[in-house]
Structure 1
């Protein structure tokens, strides 16, 4: 059951940028985009959209999402294929337009078949889990398991079980499944390892580091796992490894903020420079009204700027649509540090309804 009473969130205050209209806030890298001829077939369009999505995931550059949307949006609705609908849902998910993502995925699940239906089920399960809609997520995971038994479906169910009071059981069951599936495809094994890392962190099991390290060894461009591991190091007061993990990723907001936190804790000589660049980046995003990743800004305000009140406002706004453990933890920490724990009471009630405990949450124990 999803909490029906959302925490109240104050409206955004007027933005007064501290930079001139002509100021250059950041030097973006050159990106080559093929705009000579738009794709003429759904298959060619799908290939190009998929390529842009992959580049966005591996580089953290959101412009690739814009490029993908730019070539997909003019495509006639009556020529949309299942593959294009799944890809469009993926774009919507990355833009936090979760309702639109669900709208695209449902007809593929209900009427489609083959790989696209499987991908639609997995994407829908992920969307529902991110938003804390665990009953719906479990249904999608079960449908995926019926259609394609294996490590990905097992990981899907394990994550939902862990978020609803069965973390230890989910971890042990998935670990057993992983050990029994050594012949599974590499992508499946990496998916399971990433999930095992998440569950281990929830249980305060130090093996989280090992699992996430194994994923990054095979796929260094997995920015989500890279950020998860960096955050885990910071939670365990190990700032030094964060510098190595985030080196070269300063253009990715989530990793840049984690790097800034680590640098501050280590009194690194380059901390002030990175913090200033992040201030300018976030100021420009708020000025443009494009503050998509509220979690990163809330974390920056809480752990770098020492402004828990502002951090709480953005953490509450973020939690309205995203309820992963890092989102919940950030909100609880901000409410505590701001001396406004009453504003986190609906979140605590929601956690209790789902029997969700997590060693990463303040006040929770393994």
Structure 2
């Protein structure tokens, strides 16, 4: 999902319901099998600080400032580590305000963020609309709303928010909003070149915004088949923030597409905390015919099962890819990919729909995917290559 640069949060990997077909509980083979690990060790400084804040909130449950601080920190941890459990911890901190129809603005923004991560996009948009009614000059709410609308494929409404942002945000931020949208709506190469030139003219920009824009440029270049530019953008962004979950996933995908699994293994050897990163690491092991593959497939299976048992909303895009490429069950993968497509309509979702349709020879779904691509005027060299196989 396109990321949003904010003061304390970014929209990254999102999570949604597992279909009933995939909801059979997974039973571990032994009592010693590890299903999942805690998000962080009790001795972690972040854990100690958050524990102290939670204890203070328990003593003073009406302290909005404290609840918001805890929720913000958990939201940021979820972004950095790619762990959906942190979203649950953030929501718990806001429990006294969560169900209010008109909560404070700080809660509205956090609630919109967390609802988006659960793919409850319509509810997130309602919260963001309420924020904008309160303050039409709320640039962060407009940027967030533009991104959610883009994920839903509502490009006209997203463009209106990017236009409004022009009066409210620094040039590079509103330009990234506009060019990011244009890049999936018929102006890919033009958008990449214009945004790249603008970034070059602003050497003073903060590292956080630079990394955000570079990640956008990397994905644009990848979709356009500009391999040298894509890798340069990825590497420059990772040099700024080598722990960014979204960026690591995107670069790993690009490396896998270019037949470089050994580099994926090197990149992710010590970074498998999230299901998405473990998935890409395991796909690299498969490409290398590694004897470690089976163990990692079982680890992923257990992680998805643990999420189901917790009631977490697992990202269907990731589970569909796991089901197709590692479990070898294209029909189940197609079911997941279709369900995912009803919720979000980004190019990686379309690619997965095309891949599962090809694997099952579902010509009707393939035709609808082709029609959507043409109507949106979106460009992606990998998707185009896949469609030529039909």
For residue 227 of structure 1, what is the aligned residue in structure 2? 249
Report the TM-score when normalising by structure 1: 0.90
Is 1:203 the counterpart of 2:224? The answer is yes
- 1: distance between equivalents of 2:210 and 2:283? 32
- 1: distance between equivalents of 2:26 and 2:248? 32
Note if contact 1:98-1:127 (Cα within 8 Å) is conserved in structure 2: yes
Is 1:166 the counterpart of 2:179? The answer is no
- In terms of mean alpha carbon deviation, does 230-239 or 272-281 score higher? 272-281
Is 1:213 the counterpart of 2:224? The answer is no
Is 1:304 the counterpart of 2:314? The answer is no
Residue in structure 1 matching 2:114, options 86, 91, 100: 91
- 2: distance between equivalents of 1:344 and 1:248? 38
For residue 148 of structure 2, what is the aligned residue in structure 1? 127
- 1: distance between equivalents of 2:330 and 2:365? 13
Alignment of 1:1-366 (within 5 A): 12=21, 15=24, 17-19=26-28, 25-28=35-38, 29-31=40-42, 32=47, 33-34=50-51, 35-38=54-57, 40-75=62-97, 77=100, 80-112=103-135, 117-206=138-227, 207-287=229-309, 289-361=311-383, 362-363=385-386
- 1: distance between equivalents of 2:23 and 2:335? 14
Q: Report which structure shows greater RCO (CA 8 Å, sep ≥6).
A: 2
For residue 15 of structure 2, what is the aligned residue in structure 1? none
Report the TM-score when normalising by structure 2: 0.85
Q: 1:73 to 1:322 in 2, by over 3 A?
A: same
Alignment RMSD (CA, Å): 2.3
- In terms of mean alpha carbon deviation, does 71-80 or 50-59 score higher? 71-80
Note if contact 2:354-2:387 (Cα within 8 Å) is conserved in structure 1: no
- 1: distance between equivalents of 2:313 and 2:116? 15
Shift of 1:78: 7.4
For residue 4 of structure 1, what is the aligned residue in structure 2? none
Note if contact 2:118-2:313 (Cα within 8 Å) is conserved in structure 1: no
> What SS does structure 2 have at the residue aligned with 1:221?
coil
Structure 1: give runs of 5+ residues left out of the alignment.
1-8
Note if contact 2:97-2:107 (Cα within 8 Å) is conserved in structure 1: no
- In terms of mean alpha carbon deviation, does 97-106 or 321-330 score higher? 321-330
- 2: distance between equivalents of 1:340 and 1:231? 25
> What SS does structure 1 have at the residue aligned with 2:55?
coil
Note if contact 2:19-2:336 (Cα within 8 Å) is conserved in structure 1: no
- 1: distance between equivalents of 2:320 and 2:387? 21
Q: 1:340 to 1:313 in 2, by over 3 A?
A: same
- 1: distance between equivalents of 2:362 and 2:268? 32
Q: How many residues end up aligned between the 2 structures? A: 355
- 1: distance between equivalents of 2:37 and 2:72? 26
Q: 1:16 to 1:181 in 2, by over 3 A?
A: closer
For residue 3 of structure 1, what is the aligned residue in structure 2? none
> What SS does structure 2 have at the residue aligned with 1:344?
helix
